[in-house]
Chains A and B, each alone.
Chain A
């Protein structure tokens, strides 16, 4: 239940550059005191934290990656629509495979700050409308040809335009064009300023392809592994790419496939048939923990479950009723009982502590029948309320059932209508007055809020429009100065917290199972398998 404790800074939380500096210092024989000094410079003031970091760094030094070994990993969904075309990726297995075979311009660390990868450096023009990326030299594709600006421009342009098939098109719809601006440089021209662009380019769909790739059954990338076998819905196998430009690609072979059934997946993991298992159900966590040589790899994230109440129709158009429902949500029970502690309390707004722009100043809302009674009375609402629920994520149905139970105690009749999750998004979501929803984490707070809370957003599931919010959202895209930025983001989160129809009980962790000798997976909170970043740095301890 570490999520309830104040966050303890540890070695893993540092970004790659900080880690690197620290490791270099220790290699040169730095003492704990030296490390303390360095940490002070980084803003870590507590001696205990610095000591912890020192210990962590020494551990990490002792554990430099070893080469060799074979790794078998399995996540849940796979099928004939598995693809090697990054713009069509839909599942964790696609994302992870993409990480294995391809590279991207930037890479996101656990803090979601973009780090250089195929782009050596990147900067934004003063008006915020032109992003310039200097490409790393000497990077080659698996077929031996070298990567250049033409490849990047071609790849990135696939996401633009109205007829684009890209699943991530809406993340970059403010980019008007990509162009080559030098022998090793590309530029993105933006319609309106956006400081989040590099972060977004570090996500799954923006992997760099070779120019004019048409046959996606045998593509080449710049990733640490080359394709040995790819059979959609059967398995993918990667072997190390000997000319990989960076650190990584330590294993002799990685095999990856999907086991849809949770019981079968757990069987395979506990029996040693696979070494990394995606998506451990909360009920199975104690069992993994008690098994020899098997560990839980849990990454707190901003992913969440919620109940969306439409503010444009009854009963959700009555904000007092929505507030009553918010006070009737037993958040503790969702986190402890359903998620078995693998998550954090939600505060009726989507930007959880895993986001850099999370606002911790908003007081935590808790189960409070008295306040609920007050708001219910004020709303003047009578009669039953129906919540449509489906098993779309762990806890999605339970949150509604808990709400039902608490509402009954103050005389409010909440009915839970259970439907199948097949076709739920088309038939229920954005249609029913109240329904349960599940969201994945997005790379930045702005992306998340633009996607589902902006007044004119296609997925504005609570149908609420606040001019102040929309204005702040667009303006904040150009702001990098920490002070004003924090103020703007806090204001936006408070508006959602108080005015939107978003009843959000819990943020959930990504919970994977790994064999104890599997090392080097970064805790990137964007998806399972460390934000699907696993393949690059993973290695096996003997």
Chain B
């Protein structure tokens, strides 16, 4: 976060790294700030949940904690730790199952976007003028169309499934990754050290591997984090139009969507314990019924804010190359 006021640190460290980095510019060692560490902890937490999901969830994602009751939006109790949702299901279990799906989709889509976007972007940057021209124009064409519309057309054409969602989101965001990686690669290609390597007669692959990649890695990783967030929101937006993850499967964006009614609607019966032991009103009755929508919204927020905290550290280290790329 404090990139602009940075002072030269750890000169000794630099000299050790310098050996391996050949003729690259001297670099500063990467360190997380305390906010960065919070980000790392939260993101790790969610990834663990995503992986362990089915083993730790108290119920299945469509099971009912109160199988004989009709009422929805129950406040938290020992039986359902976060209460129940619009269809009487256990919110906690759905959050846990949803973690896997939400993170899985966005991670897979983002990786796909990077594989496609970076390889084409770097190809465009290092190849001749005509290939660059062709790739860039097609890419511009896709970029100029609104993302949600592209998604709509693809899903209307082939139907919605996890694979389709991943490929749609991946290819749509590949256009932006292409733009960024091409710009970054172009930028690096004209740097003095690359020109020196060229003059030395190094091959193209060598230049990509030894010169472009080390310099582009950091901005790329920080953009990767941002892209992850956009994919989550993109899929949530598709869910709003009924085209995202199909219910009853749990996905965070979907959960916010289907429980949106909880924000306004609180039937009195939804609170099994309106009074606590002391005879006072149970404060959970007000907010407890809204967990159905707040919990998934909070899950999205904590994940994305944490990724952002990490990204902030990374991009200040990368010296804001990300912004140039946009």
Contacts and interface: CB of A to CB of B under 8 A. Distances in A.
Check A-B contact in the complex, CB < 8 A.
yes
A419 B246 contact: yes
Contact of B265 (A287, A391, A419): A287
Nearest to A337: B70
Contacts of A401: 62, 248
Interface string A377-397: 000000000000001000001
Interface of A: 263, 266-267, 270, 281, 283-284, 286-287, 333, 336-337, 391, 397-398, 401, 418-423, 427
**Main SS class of interface, A:** helix
Interface in B206-242: 242
A124 B244 CA distance: 54
B247 interface: yes
B159 A284 contact: no
A438 to B, nearest CB: 15
A420 B265 contact: no
B249 interface: yes
A266 B62 CA distance: 27
Contact of A419 (B62, B70, B87, B159): B159
B160 interface: yes
B264 interface: yes
Nearest to B244: A420
A427 B158 CA distance: 11
A266 B264 contact: yes
Given A420-B243, A422-B243, A283 B265 contact: yes
B111 interface: no
A535 B267 CA distance: 33
B265 A422 contact: no
B261 A420 contact: no
Given A267-B264, A397-B248, 8 more contacts: A283-B72, A283-B261, A337-B88, A391-B247, A397-B247, A418-B247, A419-B246, A422-B243
B16 to A, nearest CB: 56
B155 to A, nearest CB: 8
A427 B265 contact: no
Interface string B81-117: 0000011100000000000000000000000000000
B156 interface: yes
A419 B245 CA distance: 10
Contact of B246 (A266, A286, A420, A427): A420
A418 B246 contact: yes
Contacts of B294: none
Closest 4 CB pairs of A and B: A337-B70, A287-B265, A420-B160, A286-B267
B242 A420 contact: yes
A508 to B, nearest CB: 16
Contacts of A287: 264-265, 267
Given A337-B70, A391-B247, A401-B62, A422 B264 contact: no
Given A337-B70, A420-B159, A423-B159, A263 B243 contact: no
A402 B267 CA distance: 24
Contacts of B160: 420, 422
B260 interface: yes
A224 to B, nearest CB: 36
A281 B262 CA distance: 13
Nearest to B156: A422
A263 B267 CA distance: 16
A398 B243 CA distance: 19
Contacts of A267: 264
Given A422-B156, A422-B242, A422-B243, A286 B265 contact: yes
A336 B72 CA distance: 13
21 contacts: A263-B260, A263-B264, A266-B264, A267-B264, A281-B261, A283-B72, A283-B86, A283-B261, A284-B261, A391-B242, A391-B247, A398-B87, A418-B248, A419-B246, A420-B155, A420-B159, A420-B160, A420-B243, A420-B246, A421-B242, A422-B243
A337 B72 CA distance: 10
Contacts of B248: 397, 401, 418
A418 B261 contact: no
A9 to B, nearest CB: 30
B70 to A, nearest CB: 4
A401 B64 CA distance: 12
Nearest to B86: A283
Contacts of A391: 242, 247
Contact of B261 (A263, A336, A397, A423): A263
Contacts of B243: 420, 422
A401 B60 CA distance: 14
A266 B261 CA distance: 9
Nearest to B64: A405
Contacts of A286: 265, 267
